[in-house]
Amino acid sequence: MTSGVSTHVKDTPEGAHPAGVGRAMLIAGFAACFVWIPYAIDGLEDFQVVGPNDAIPLTDLLSATPRQGGASLAGALRRPSLLEGDDEALMEAAPLPEAVRVEPRRTRRRPPTEGEPPATPIARIDPEEFEGLTREIEDPRGAMRGFYRRLAAVERDEPVLARMGVYGTSTNGADRMTSQLRRLLQRRFGDGGKGWVPVAAGWRYQRHQDVEWRYDHWRTYVVNRANGPLDRYGWGGVLAVNRHRGAESEFATTASGPGSRVSRFRIFHQAFPEGGRLSVRVDDGPPRIIDTSASEPTDRVEEIEVPDGAHTLQLSAVGEGEGQGQEDLRLYGVTMERDGPGVVVDGLALIGAFTRVLRLFDREHLSTQVRQRDPNLVVFWMGANDAVSERVPFVEDQYRRHYRGILRRYQDANPGMSCLVMSILDKGERDGGRIRTRARVPRMVQVQREIALAEGCAFFDTYEAMGGEGTMRRWYSNSPRLVTADLGHLTASGSRVMGTLVYRALMKGFDDWIADGER
């Protein structure tokens, strides 16, 4: 016998292992898999046991200095509240800077403009909503006014939605920070639905929360690579083209929590001369066929209303005859919304993107997409790759020119829309066994502030809100870990912390706007 688990074998054939060794190898294999899984599966970063700021375990055994920081699997399992949604406990555990001192502000009532019906006054925001605020939104020119006005309409129970789109990089590639922001805003103002979902993922690691999302047999083109037909990538920067007639996608509400109800689907797509037919089906109902042909490329939106509740939307390519159903569909995305009042937050991740890629949209197409999606606020959380790339130099004058031009494009598309620039996170690097902030980060933050304010946008200093210099060291050593081992991305817990910091800043800004007479 050659089995390493038999206790009756006395002579081990060549190439086989003694019984004890085989058993040990089997156990070691299981243990290795157990340790490896948190590094391989999205969302389990808090369970990683060794990273760039950890001492090698053998070194720990030989060192007289106790090991500091780091979240062990056993320790994480003993803290279920921090991993299962206890935001208060998570924020208390996070190594955040001292909270901003909030001075009480008296409410000033704005007299109605002649001919304007007086608006019903709304109550001030409960200070508990922004307790622990670490950084306020800088808005000297009232750039957030449009969004706050829509929030006020939601507060008055008008049947409207306050829509927010957040462009980002892999820092929000799994829709985690925006999911936390979505949950907090919808808890406070009402559930307006999940929002935007691409027809198919543009990147291997792209994820979306608060939706059951499946897709197959699509070829995707992303704005990063500028390789799509006509440079039309849709609101979210991902164009899906059917590879053959088996291409299909499914968008379903979740079993519970955010995203569990929908009353309106909207399908954003391109019609063009070679456009084919798209089959659309809701739940177990009959399919509906959409003809996507047109004399010239045109962006269209198909709307499907359903009774408010749990639903599934299925999209599939229709092919008839030789060659049909192959690359005859160009689809951008689907929105899942409710009638309102409520808030919608679109997570628009462009994984691996430099800031300049937002210039690669066809200008007219981008304007059409902004008008069709009709956001009240667009947030730009870009610059992460510009700050850390070693192969692409950071040329400040060029960066300023590109970013300012991007902000103008969006503002020109919808002048009444609010604009908010979020700075990059802290970015860490190892230096002699310690973690320090990368040299380019503070300057990048200042440049982004100057760009935002020069173009009439508001600015949120994400870097200082999370702690400024040395944040990656503190957040990585925290328990649970708030950043991943590469010292540049947030864990699931870190994303919840960041989403909460942004929410607090928005609520403080909204309260100030109310106090100033809703001006």
φ/ψ bin of 80: left (φ > 0), alpha (ψ from -120 to 50), beta (otherwise): alpha
End-to-end CA distance of the chain: 85
Structure tokens at 497: 């912390």
Q: How much is the pLDDT for 118?
A: 63
Which CA distances in Å does 392 have to 58, 223, 246, 350, 440? Answer: 38, 18, 40, 18, 13
Which residue in 17, 41, 39, 38 sits closest to 27, CA to CA?
A: 17
- Please, are residues 319 and 151 in contact by the beta-carbon 8 Å criterion? no
* Helical segments of 332-414, H only: 363-373, 384-388, 396-413
Which residue in 12, 11, 72, 3 sits closest to 478, CA to CA?
A: 72
Per-residue pLDDT of the chain (519 residues; tens, 9 = 90+): 333 333 333 333 334 444 454 555 555 555 555 444 544 444 444 444 333 333 333 223 223 322 233 332 222 222 333 334 688 999 999 999 999 988 777 776 666 666 666 667 899 999 999 999 999 999 999 999 999 999 999 999 999 999 999 999 999 999 999 999 999 999 999 999 999 999 999 999 999 999 999 999 999 999 999 888 889 999 999 999 998 778 999 999 999 888 999 999 999 999 999 999 999 999 999 999 999 999 999 999 999 999 999 999 999 999 754 445 578 999 999 999 999 899 999 999 999 999 999 999 999 999 999 999 999 999 999 999 999 988 888 899 999 999 999 999 999 999 999 999 999 999 999 988 899 999 999 999 999 999 999 999 999 999 999 999 999 999 999 999 999 999 999 999 999 999 999 999 999 999 999 999 887
Torsion of Cα atoms, 489 then 491 then 493 then 497, to 10°: 10
The DSSP bridge partners found for residue 218 are 242
Which residue in 519, 518, 512, 475 sits closest to 121, CA to CA?
A: 518
Half-sphere exposure of 11 (CA within 13 A, CB side): 2
Place of tokens 């709307």: 303
Domains of the chain, CATH where assigned: 123-192+343-518 (3.40.50.1110), 196-339 (2.60.120.260)
Say whether the peptide bond before residue 480 is cis (omega within 30 degrees of 0).
yes
Per-residue exposure over 141-164, b if at least 16 CB sit within 10 Å of its own CB, e if not: eebbbbbbbbbbbbbeeeebbbbb
Structure tokens at 298: 């045109």
The burial of 346, by beta-carbon neighbours within 10 Å (0-12 exposed, 13-18 middle, 19 or more buried), is given as buried
Q: What contacts 491, CB < 8 A, 6 or more positions away?
A: 45, 46, 480, 481, 482, 483, 484
What does 6-39 look like in DSSP terms, one character per residue?
A: -SS--SPPTT---HHHHHHHHHHHHHHHHHHHHH
Which residue in 422, 497, 492 sits closest to 168, CA to CA?
A: 422
Give the three-class secondary structure for 407: helix
Q: What is the number of residues in the chain?
A: 519
Structure tokens at 426: 């802290």
The DSSP bridge partners found for residue 198 are 333
